[in-house]
Amino acid sequence: MELKVLTQEEINEVVSNEIIELINNSSKCVLGLATGSTPLGVYKKLVEAYQTNEVSFENVESFNLDEYVGLDSTNNQSYRYFMDHNLFNHINIDINKTYIPSDKETSENYYKRYDDKIENHGGIDIQILGIGSNGHIAFNEPGTSFDSLTHIVSLKESTIKDNSRFFNSIDEVPTRAISMGLKSIMNAKRIILIAFGKNKQEAIRCLFEEEANENLPASILKSHPNVTIYCDKEASSLLKINA
Ligand code: PGA
């Protein structure tokens, strides 16, 4: 894992530039996208680049990491709503080629089919990740098997508490989600994990100081050949090593 400590503005710039370069140099490109507050600056830069004709999303497809169970796509807390409003509605991506896992799919094979679909589309070229304060990636909470594929998860108390800032009250936060698994994420060709702020400093410290273990889901990334971890100063402040 490569570590880069930069300002938030620099990280948004560097990561969006890498995505733009990949799109401009490929006939077709598959992005792995994340929700939450962390990737918002990158999405803003991608929208700006589209508006100034630096990039076209015509030949881009996307797969999102996760979605809450029980929230309709019109619910402003759903991740479909988040992606439409923060990115898809502002660029020329074909909305039918933006995939988000959904609990509306009733086939018992659905979860496997989400992973199969990613594979059938050529696999994810760049996966963007945030990290939870408890070390989760996507909604893979501590204790999730490193062999997991897309599955339904029960959210931990710490995640419900972290995410309650987006809701009117903690009681409104869904307790279950559908999430790509850790193995699904590891199948991406390139992975970029971004961590901003003090709330992430302990998770980042553990990520660099602990051996890979299932109590720290992000630690699976240690065995991926092409990962960059971008941290701002606050998120990296407990690290002995520095970039
Ligand atoms: P955040 O969430 O970007 O809102 O901090 C990240 C995560 O929980 O994975």
Indicate the top mutation candidate among 37, 182, 202 to test ligand 1's pocket, ranked by most ligand atoms within 8 A of CB: 37
CA angle 230, 207, 233 (to 5 degrees): 40
Cβ(41)–Cβ(71) below 8 Å? no
Q: How many whole angstroms from 212 Cα to the centroid of ligand 1?
A: 21
User: Per-residue pLDDT tens for 74-107?
Assistant: 899 999 999 999 999 999 999 999 999 986 665 5
* Catalytic residue flag (residue 85): no
User: Per-residue pLDDT tens for 194-236?
Assistant: 999 999 999 999 999 999 999 999 999 999 999 999 999 999 9
In the chain, pLDDT over 70 holds for what percent of residues? Answer: 95
Q: Give the confidence band of 243 by pLDDT, cuts at 50, 70, 90.
A: very low
Catalytic residue, candidates 115, 141, 162, 232: 141
Cβ(243)–Cβ(15) below 8 Å? no
**Closest Cα to atom 2, ligand 1: which residue?**
36
How far from chain centre, in Å, is Cα 11? 15
Cβ(3)–Cβ(240) below 8 Å? no
Tell me which H or E stretch contains 98.
strand 98-99
239 Rama sector, left if φ>0, alpha if ψ -120 to 50, beta otherwise: beta
Indicate the top mutation candidate among 33, 86, 131 to test ligand 1's pocket, ranked by most ligand atoms within 8 A of CB: 131
Long-range contacts of 78-81 (CB under 8 A, 24+ apart): 79/35
Instruction: Please give the number of the atom of ligand 1 that sits closest to the Cα of 197.
Output: 5
Q: Give the confidence band of 18 by pLDDT, cuts at 50, 70, 90.
A: very high
Of 80, 220, 210, the residue nearest 140 (C-alpha) = 220
Q: How many whole angstroms from 149 Cα to the centroid of ligand 1?
A: 20
* Catalytic residue flag (residue 134): yes
Q: How many whole angstroms from 24 Cα to the centroid of ligand 1?
A: 28
Instruction: Please give the number of the atom of ligand 1 that sits closest to the Cα of 131.
Output: 9
Residues whose beta carbon lies within 6 Å of some atom of ligand 1: 36-38, 130-132, 136
Q: How many whole angstroms from 49 Cα to the centroid of ligand 1?
A: 24
Q: How many whole angstroms from 27 Cα to the centroid of ligand 1?
A: 31
pLDDT surpassing 90 at residue 10: yes
Number of H helices, E strands in the chain: 7, 10
Indicate the top mutation candidate among 162, 185, 196 to test ligand 1's pocket, ranked by most ligand atoms within 8 A of CB: 162
- Is the pTM for the entire model greater than 0.85? yes
d(CA 26, CA 159): 36
DSSP 147: T
Overall residue count recorded for the chain in this entry? 243
